[in-house]
Structure 1
Amino acid sequence: MPLPASPEPTHRIVIAGLAVAYHLKRSQRRTIGLAIDHRGLRVGAPLRARQGDIEALIHQHGQWVLDKLAAWRDRPPPGKLMVTDGTVISVVGAPLTVALVPASRARWQLAGDRVELSPSPSTDANQLLEKALREKARQLFAERLAHYAPQLGVPPPPLRLSSARTRWGSCSHRGGIALNWRLIFMPLALIDYVVNHELAHLKEMNHSPRFWSVVEQLCPDWRARRLELRQLGRTIPTI
């Protein structure tokens, strides 16, 4: 299976003493624009815009940026997702459309950018969607562990899916790694950050400076990714 396309580059800037991650997208536009949504600060810039000019504009609107980010952060978490025909959710940074398909028994099938669900009296659409996303998560997480483990000189560890409410991942003293299946709602760059974080524990079972130096080998911009993970964590729907 080909890997998803690389995400937009993530940068980091300090505004009034607070670290803020932002995504920068360059295109054939004429001006620099700022936008804030559930993903955080997003900056659009001309192809040849200087980085210094981009960050000067961010600082110029610094208080607006902080206020808008705080407003998104303080919003109540989303309620239970009502899964109906045509529901669209974000999975690994791309839209996934739900299609309800009649069938003689409960079943689900992932097909490109849509997931087909066939509920039954005993298994509703929400339950089927969770099963489909868990399977997608298992396959993707195993693939990412196999991709990064050799870079640390370790074999791909045993994988277990977690449903923890407060942790994205964990690493046992026996070398097994548990990853929260809800990470499937995150962009690939943030999934990779958690994967790299847990793999680093195979080298350093702590959070010492040595540990973070291992993380940095695999993920040089881990600080920005960690910040974005915190920002996006509150937007994950409940199925």
Structure 2
Amino acid sequence: MVDGRELLVAVSARRKRLGLTVERDGTLTLRAPVSCEAARAETFVRQSRAWIESKLRLRDRHRPAHPVREFRDGESFRYLGREYRLLLVDVGGTPVRLVAGRLRMDKAVAAEPRRARRELIAWYRNAGLRWSNGRLQPWAARMEVTEPAVTVRDVGNRWGTYRPGEGEAGQMALHWAVFQLPAHLVDYVIAHELAHIRVSGHGPDYWTLLKRAIPECEARKEELDDLGRRLWLGQAAEQG
């Protein structure tokens, strides 16, 4: 807690500088090197007050508008930027499938919103993992890093994470919801996390590296911020 403002603190041996991140839910994360003293960290947060307030004002102007789904026939869902209509079928078998331009869901599954939510998220996870495994190698080669292991799951308030030391080249996790975005924005999230293999945090060196791989990375970040607040994140209408 600094001046009445609560922060999460993440300490890393890989960091050399202090850094602040405003998460999607408005929480603040202070990232610090192991050797950083508490007094230095508090001073850094106080000196960043104007930056924090500007980021929070920007967030207030772009409040999330995540939709709620009812899993009804004809409801739309996005995958890699394209819109697909839900078609309820009565054939059993695989709970959710993408066939001939329609996202097909078993009627028995759709009748139970919690189960429908679970099965549709599982579909995004499986489809997203297959797609991202095909994209990872070209991006890793472009950024001159070793491919990390990849999982697709709910990673909370981030679109992706990278953790070193889990396997030969670390572990990347992508949020299942990002696969609703157009492919070029999913590529941006992948490249964003790959850059952390070489540079921790989001300082100048990090953005220099990312900009070499994606010269228009700032524009893509703005597009992600805009579209991301309107993605379906799993909210389901209550039955009844």
| Deviation for aligned residue 1:112 | 4.3
The SS at the match of 2:108 is coil
Aligned-partner Cα distance in 1 for 2:191–2:153: 17
Tell me the alpha carbon deviations over residues 71-118 of structure 1, each in whole angstroms, 9 at most, x when there is no partner. Answer: 9834x6234211112212222111112111113456222224222111
Q: Which amino acid aligns with 2:119?
A: L
Answer whether contact 1:105 1:119 (CA < 8 A) is retained: no
Give yes or no for contact 1:83–1:125 (8 Å, CA) kept in 2: yes
Match of 1:113 in 2: 101
Assess if the C-alpha contact under 8 Å between 2:125 and 2:153 holds in 1.
no
Letter aligned with residue 197 of structure 2: L
Match of 1:227 among 196, 218, 222: 222
Answer yes or no: is the 8 Å Cα contact 2:155–2:173 preserved in 1: no
Q: Deviations over 1:16-50 (max 9, x none)?
A: xxxxxxxxxxxxxxxxxxxxxxxxxxxxxxxxxxx
Spell out structure 1 runs of 4+ moving beyond 6 A: 69-72
* Aligned residue number for residue 180 of structure 1: 175
Structure 2 residue ranges without an equivalent (≥5): 1-57, 235-240
Using the alignment, how far apart are the partners of 1:169 and 1:73 within structure 2?
A: 20
Using structure 2 for the length normalisation, give the TM-score. Answer: 0.63
Q: CA deviation at 1:155?
A: 3.0
SS of the aligned residue for 1:126 comes to helix
Q: Secondary structure at the match of 1:120?
A: helix
- In structure 2, the residue matched to 1:171 is 162
Q: For 2:157 and 2:172, locate their aligned partners in 1 and report how far apart those are by CA, in whole Å.
A: 16
Instruction: Indicate how the Cα distance of structure 1 residues 206 and 92 shifts in structure 2: closer, same or farther if over 3 A, else same.
Output: same
Name the residue aligned to 1:47.
none
**Alignment correspondent of 1:125:** 116
Letter in 2 for 1:128: E
**2:70 equivalent in structure 1:** 82
Tell me if structure 1 keeps the 8 A contact 2:195–2:206. Answer: yes
Question: 2:155 touches 2:161 (CA, 8 Å); kept in 1?
Answer: no
Deviations 1:205-232 (A, max 9, x none): 2323222121112111111111111111
Q: CA deviation at 1:191?
A: 0.9
Distance in 2 (CA, whole Å) between partners of 1:235 and 1:173 is 31
Which residue does 1:217 correspond to in 2?
212
In structure 2, the CA distance between the partners of 1:118 and 1:202, relative to structure 1 (3 Å rule), is: same
Partners of 1:134 and 1:181 within 8 A in 2 = yes
CA RMSD of aligned residues (A): 2.5
TM-score, normalising length from structure 1? 0.63
Native 8 Å contact 2:73 2:88 kept in 1: yes
Q: Supply the distance in 2 between the matched residues of 1:132 and 1:200 (Cα, whole angstroms).
A: 28
Could you tell me how far 1:156 is from its partner in structure 2? 2.1
The 8 Å contact of residues 79 and 237 in structure 1, kept in 2 or not, is answered as: yes
Mean Cα deviation higher: 148-157 or 112-121: 112-121
Alpha-carbon offset, residue 70 of structure 1:
9.8
Residue type matched to 2:215 in 1? P
Q: Is the 8 A contact 2:76 2:83 kept in 1?
A: yes
In structure 1, the gaps of 5 or more residues are 1-68
- Counting only pairs closer than 5 Å after superposition, residues 136-147 of structure 1 correspond to structure 2 as 136-147=127-138
Is the aligned partner of 1:208 residue 2:203? yes
Task: Determine the C-alpha separation between the residues in 2 that align with 1:192 and 1:202.
Answer: 16
Aligned to 1:195: 190
CA separation in 1, counterparts of 2:88 and 2:115?
Answer: 11
The answer for the alignment partner of 1:99 in structure 2 is: 87
Structure 1 residues 112 and 104 mapped into 2: Cα distance closer, same or farther (>3 Å)?
A: closer
Identity of aligned residues (%): 26
